[in-house]
Amino acid sequence: VFTTIEKASAHLENGAKKVVITAPSADAPMYVCGVNLENYNPCDKVISNASCTTNCLAPLAKVIHDNFEIVEGLMTTVHATTATQKTVDGPSGKNWRDGRGAGQNIIPASTGAAKAVGKVIPSLNGKLTGMAFRVPTPNVSVVDLTCRLGKGASLDQIKAKVKEASEGALKGILGYTDEQVVSTDFVGDVRSSI
């Protein structure tokens, strides 16, 4: 509802000192921790923190792109239920699938995360595309990134760079594990991406 500077500014007019839009915005400056936060201008009254999916995808894409150059990529998110989904089948004004019951279905959906990554990492603008599946879980989502690289790399080299970033510059934002975990193992985890 409040995803543009004009609409989000209504909060400023009613006493808020700053507004952070928690979705991609068409016109507000967009920031993702560990990716482009150094560009933050404290004078901006309205900013966007993109989306939860973008915050998961962007740190990973940054590490891979900085080390191996992403030429193009496809991201797929298997996304937990959101507040806008219906609990049982019902009418939907936008998209027929949006009216289907969240607890009974895997629902294909669109996502703006791939496009938003291009806004926070300009060298990836137009190089990523994506899709989403809404699944009947209450919390924790997954992003799968498949990409064509400009530089040759083995899986072990990519994993090593992700692990290195998770212990260094992106510690607390990007995590790394090779354990056999499931989604509920991450409930309460504050990192954006693991």
* Active centre residues (catalytic): 52
| Cβ-count burial 59-97 (b if 16+ within 10 Å, e if not) | bbbbbbbebbebeebebbbbbbbeeebbeeeeeeeeeee
**Helix, strand, or coil (residue 135):** strand
Smallest CA-to-CA distance from 139 within 178, 184, 173, 74 is with 184
Work out the number of other CB atoms within 10 angstroms of the CB of residue 140.
Answer: 17
Yes or no: say if 133 and 126 are a contact pair by the CB < 8 Å rule. Answer: no
